[in-house]
Structure 1
Amino acid sequence: MADKTYLDWPFFEDRHRELAAKLDDWAAANIKGINHEDVDAACRDLVARLASGDWLRHAAIDPADAGSKLDVRSLCLIRETLARYDGLADFSFAMQGLGSGAISLFGTDDQKDNWLPKVRSGKAIAAFALTEPQSGSDVANIALEAKRDGDDFVLNGEKTWISNGGIADFYCVFARTGEAPGAKGLSAFIVPANVPGFEIAERLHTIAPHPLARLKFTDCRIPASALMGKGGDGFKIAMSVLDVFRSTVAAAALGFARRALDETITRVQERELFGAPLFDLQMVQGHVADMALDIDASALLVYRAAWLKDSGAARVSREAAMAKLYSTDHAQTVIDKAVQIHGGDGVRSGHIVESLYREIRALRIYEGASDVQKIIIARQTLA
């Protein structure tokens, strides 16, 4: 990677710099030979590799350590680095964190003891089940129903576009328990994948393949002990988890953009046009300058949000929204320039730049689409 000077910024401590260097070395040696033809097998393999490298300890708190917490700067650095090497490696790490984030932040001691060591060791794959056919970014519109029945809850309804759907061992599921209308009537539950009444209704396929599924709950009975927090806390739990992990989506976009710039630098130095290196063209120099500018601006927004959260801010909704909006949108622009500069190779199936072009698009949609981020920023600014 050409530029690592951003690690000297005051957002980071020495432990973060050491983490970034160690992970870069580990990824260079271990994130290769991934078979993307079978994404389910690839993600299981990557979770095992990340666990063996002890990287998943950053994705979930350690229940045995009372001082353990999620460090957002570490999460962002890890996602940025993994995304630079392989999109599925980033995905596999991210979902272990996002999928278990509600347990790390709001789980009971028993829930933490039961699930988080399995997440950290790679023995259990996690999933975050929030989105529904009629409620994507509008979380308050969730319709999946969880009715209390004695010592149990009974779930009926659907979720869709659920990452790790079909390979997860458990799902953190958000459902309507009806304490109040809208957002105040939601609760969060841990649902093991093998519980009766739960099924994978459909596997979903996208331009950048990942394990995705539509989930169906039919009289799915879970014990009341599966509830996280209190009844009606679901919206607060979901927003708190996203407040931590939304900045990491921006970091993944940053990793994709850095890889695109690295590939572009190599291309313009090695490729000749009209008897001279491609980089001698002022137009190409202008593109490279724009790419470098977008990357640094994105990094500043990402690590400001992460630093602020790690510094004790209760909420960083505005800062995380800015980071996600800018970084994902501008990573798309950076990668598009890389495709253009690579010419025919840029759209050749299997080329790294072509794969980056497919990978980046979804990041502008999930965990809050770009237009929703603008609403959050505007409302926070007006407030």
Structure 2
Amino acid sequence: MTAFSLEPAQLAWCAELRALAAERLRPLAEKGEPGRVNRALVAELGGLGLLGRLFTSGALDLCLMRESLAYACTEAETALALQGLGAHPVHAHGTEPQRARWLPRVADGTAIAAFALSEPGAGSDAAALDLRAEAEGGGSSGSGHATRWRLTGEKCWISNAPEADFYTVFARTTPGAGARGVTAFLVPADRPGLTGAGLDMLSPHPVGALGFDAVPVTADDVLGEVDRGFRVAMGTLNLFRPSVGAFAVGMARAALDATVAHTAGRDAFGGRLRDLQAVSHQVAEMALRTEAARLMVYAAATAYDEDAPDVPRRAAMAKLLATETAQYVVDAAVQLHGARALQRGHLLEHLYREVRAPRIYEGASEVQRGIIAKELYAAHQEAR
């Protein structure tokens, strides 16, 4: 791939994904219940081999999948992304028994994964986690000598909760240690003491809260190393943040294409809407911003695949620009379509509800700006 375009094979694959999303995934999505896991849709993603690609593809391929699916079926895109987000820590940091038990089932769509980081008092400030992992048998939680813990506390705003089959859970093993005292655990949904409830959210994908009442976990459930779980979380987010941007780009491109078609064919004021300079310039601005966001997303994903040193900054920039752009483009599309775009079932009504959440999850826009600034000043300090 050059800095400006995709290879023909990549373009063909994206077109194939858009067609699959429209013809095979959209009908299943329409049969799903908002706020609930659509297992039939997830199983179809597995049957098509797309979930398996989560563990064999690089960041750029992940972006191409998410952008292409989002263009035609946001529910399918989100179902795929949530499987990847919840299972990537197992793929990247899990033991062989953990991987053997869960990854084949995630890949074929028979096990639902979830990434459980956020808490009622720790959303954007992920290092401020309160979920406690209390050591059993007299071992020190943070010393690395404990082999059994009890998880006590809450998680909130967890996608796929409470219906997931397992959760990647981040808990505090060393009090007062900030990011250095967090451990990642793989927690099956049937562990005693683990409860959950769905939340009624604006976006249609499932989101819930989890309660942990002395939930037992052992050393066999640890992902990575004790007290090094924050690295697991940030590594996962660095991979998925550019692809959140790709999801946003897919929605923006769908809104843009719908707007071009609408303004080209809509009669108004003795001509077509496109003949009004205010309209055509608005459409041009939508296209400009969408293309800029797409290029930044691809650049960030390529940097991740090449193990570049500035991945956190690039990932934050891509996620920030693309999600803010998509909000602008979808809003402008609604304005140019008029009242029809506000009807339930209209593409833009759907996108208008979907486009808001990505500016918050996996690090709100303000958090991304903080990451960018931190990385810039760190680089400046190193150069002195």
Q: With the length of structure 2 as denominator, give the TM-score of the two structures.
A: 0.92
Q: 1:351 to 1:109 in 2, by over 3 A?
A: same
What's the counterpart of residue 30 of structure 1? 24
Q: 2:304 aligns with which of 294, 305, 309?
A: 309
What's the counterpart of residue 380 of structure 1? 375
Q: Verify: 1:242 aligned to 2:237, yes or no.
A: yes
Q: Verify: 1:161 aligned to 2:148, yes or no.
A: no
What's the counterpart of residue 64 of structure 1? none
What's the counterpart of residue 95 of structure 1? 82
Q: Structure 1: how far apart are the matches of 2:223 and 2:51?
A: 22
1:14, distance to aligned residue in structure 2 (A): 5.5
| Larger CA deviation: 217-226 vs 35-44 | 35-44
Letter in 1 for 2:180: K
Classify the secondary structure of the residue corresponding to 1:153: strand
Q: 1:297 to 1:155 in 2, by over 3 A?
A: same
Contact preservation (8 Å) 1:165, 1:214: yes
Q: Structure 2: how far apart are the matches of 1:284 and 1:178?
A: 57
Q: Verify: 1:119 aligned to 2:106, yes or no.
A: yes
Contact preservation (8 Å) 2:21, 2:76: no
Q: Structure 1: how far apart are the matches of 2:179 and 2:90?
A: 20
Contact preservation (8 Å) 2:186, 2:223: yes
Alignment of 1:272-311 (within 5 A): 272-311=267-306
1:9, distance to aligned residue in structure 2 (A): 5.2
Letter in 2 for 1:299: R
Q: Structure 1: how far apart are the matches of 2:176 and 2:332?
A: 49
Letter in 2 for 1:131: S
Q: Verify: 1:228 aligned to 2:223, yes or no.
A: yes
Q: Structure 2: how far apart are the matches of 1:330 and 1:160?
A: 27
Where do 5+ consecutive residues of structure 2 fail to align?
A: 138-146, 379-384
Q: Structure 2: how far apart are the matches of 1:130 and 1:32?
A: 30
What's the counterpart of residue 47 of structure 1? 42
1:139-195 Cα distance to aligned partner (Å, 9 max, x none) = 110010112224422100000000000221000000000176111000000000111
1:11, distance to aligned residue in structure 2 (A): 6.4
What's the counterpart of residue 106 of structure 1? 93
1:22, distance to aligned residue in structure 2 (A): 2.6
1:221, distance to aligned residue in structure 2 (A): 0.7
Q: 1:270 to 1:12 in 2, by over 3 A?
A: closer
Contact preservation (8 Å) 2:21, 2:69: yes
| Larger CA deviation: 113-122 vs 175-184 | 175-184
What's the counterpart of residue 20 of structure 1? 14
Q: Verify: 1:319 aligned to 2:306, yes or no.
A: no
Q: Verify: 1:75 aligned to 2:62, yes or no.
A: yes
Letter in 1 for 2:23: A
Contact preservation (8 Å) 2:252, 2:329: yes
1:313, distance to aligned residue in structure 2 (A): 2.4
Letter in 1 for 2:96: D
Contact preservation (8 Å) 2:35, 2:198: no
Contact preservation (8 Å) 1:173, 1:191: yes
1:289-313 Cα distance to aligned partner (Å, 9 max, x none) = 0000011100111000001111122
Letter in 2 for 1:356: L
1:41, distance to aligned residue in structure 2 (A): 5.5
1:44, distance to aligned residue in structure 2 (A): 1.3
Q: Structure 1: how far apart are the matches of 2:8 and 2:263?
A: 34
| Larger CA deviation: 43-52 vs 183-192 | 43-52
RMSD: 1.7
Q: Verify: 1:199 aligned to 2:186, yes or no.
A: no
Contact preservation (8 Å) 1:243, 1:315: no
Q: Structure 2: how far apart are the matches of 1:25 and 1:346?
A: 24
Q: Structure 1: how far apart are the matches of 2:264 and 2:330?
A: 18
Q: Structure 1: how far apart are the matches of 2:193 and 2:285?
A: 52
Contact preservation (8 Å) 1:261, 1:292: yes
Q: Verify: 1:331 aligned to 2:326, yes or no.
A: yes
1:322, distance to aligned residue in structure 2 (A): 0.4
Letter in 1 for 2:213: T
Aligned residues: 368
1:8-62 Cα distance to aligned partner (Å, 9 max, x none) = 7556456533432331232232122223661356621211111111111122x2x
Contact preservation (8 Å) 1:250, 1:323: yes
Classify the secondary structure of the residue corresponding to 1:247: helix
Q: Structure 2: how far apart are the matches of 1:345 and 1:251?
A: 27
Q: Structure 2: how far apart are the matches of 1:41 and 1:180?
A: 36
Classify the secondary structure of the residue corresponding to 1:124: coil
Classify the secondary structure of the residue corresponding to 1:112: helix
| Larger CA deviation: 358-367 vs 37-46 | 37-46
Letter in 2 for 1:162: I
Q: Structure 2: how far apart are the matches of 1:40 and 1:338?
A: 26
Q: Verify: 1:147 aligned to 2:143, yes or no.
A: no
